A and B are shown apart, each in its own frame.
Chain A
């Protein structure tokens, strides 16, 4: 077992080649604070470097998978005091050499949803909610979600979620999407580990080779979005009303 930081995100390696990255910042609700981002990037880097790992399961807290940028960071972005850096978090997941499974038992909002969508296999809980909340606060979406969402939803539905910022229940994704599994919350982890065990039976070289090919579209799409989403942020974060909207609409 390896352990990067037991407080916010941890990495555990099971004997059968399954690595588990656990986001466990209950106080911060798995929002992307500086310390959280450093922790998760550390865990992902460690997992990527470990030749024994064949599949990674990304888990959050039972009620919150991940909730994106914290309010304070958004305010700083709106003031022009910081530039978004959490975009690299998407890349850290997309660039993992082996398949990643996102076991999203709890809510995932904004960048937290984007993070889960970087996984190769996505599981959502029927009773949790998922939403791209960026536009609620008056700025355009980030972390690659403008394209990542289309990997699991039809472009029409993805665009609706991006425009409206609605938090949709997992049940609403059950029949009309490409999400791998929509299950009762209690069944998410067992199913995720079941799938992981099946993947972990395969040779690492074959998994890496297939992953490189199957993830190519999303990795390319992500590179496009890095430039375009950053440009859109420069336009939208500059609007005077955004600061107030962040105060009014941020959900924590």
Chain B
């Protein structure tokens, strides 16, 4: 799976989770909080993305992330380690 595909999954769930976010305007350099996501929105976006990508990441790792790109990196790394 490519980085673009991973990003598309995250964007889709982010756009579902918060109001007034245009999929095409989401900048991976920004944090989901910049788009109005609250703490439980983040939990749901990550949980739904993990489910779709079929990966599991410990919550402690997620707390270190600074922006959407960081989450893409983490998913990409985990998928590679898994051999996907």
Query: Using a CB–CB distance below 8 Å, which chain A residues touch chain B?
Result: 63, 107, 109, 127-129, 131, 166-167, 169, 248-251
B residues whose Cβ falls under 8 Å from a Cβ of A: 17, 19, 38-41, 43-44, 47, 58-59
CA distance A127 to B40 in the complex (A): 10
A251 proximity list for chain B (CB < 8 A): 39-40, 43, 59
**CA–CA, A251 to B38, complex, Å?**
13
B38 touches A249 (CB 8 A): no
Contact B40 A107 (CB under 8 A): yes
Question: In the assembled complex, which residues on chain B have CB atoms less than 8 Å from the CB atom of A109?
Answer: 40
Q: In this complex, what residue of B is CB-closest to A249?
A: B59
Give the contacting residue for B43; candidates A63, A167, A248; CB below 8 A: A167
Closest B residue by C-beta to A169: B17
Determine the distance from Cα of A128 to Cα of B37 in the docked complex, in whole angstroms.
10
- State whether B59 touches A248 (Cβ < 8 A): yes
- Complex partner residue of A129 from B19, B38, B58, B59, CB under 8 angstroms: B38
Considering residues B40, B41, B58, which has the most beta carbons from chain A within 10 angstroms of its beta carbon? B40
A107 to B41, CA, bound (A): 10
Beta-carbon contact of A166 and B44 below 8 Å: yes
Contact A167 B44 (CB under 8 A): yes
**Shortest Cβ distance from B19 into A: residue:** A127
Tell me the complex Cα distance, A35–B25, Å.
Answer: 46
Instruction: List, in ascending order, chain B residues with CB within 8 A of A129's CB.
Output: 38, 40-41, 44
Q: How far, in Å, is A111 (CB) from chain B's closest CB?
A: 15
Determine the chain A residues whose CB is within 8 A of the CB of B40 once the complex forms: 107, 109, 128-129, 131, 167, 251
Q: 19 pairs across A/B with beta carbons < 8 Å?
A: A63-B38, A107-B39, A107-B40, A109-B40, A127-B19, A127-B38, A128-B38, A128-B40, A129-B38, A129-B41, A129-B44, A166-B44, A167-B43, A169-B17, A248-B58, A248-B59, A251-B39, A251-B40, A251-B59
A166 to B41, CA, bound (A): 11
Contacts of A250 in B (CB 8 A): 59
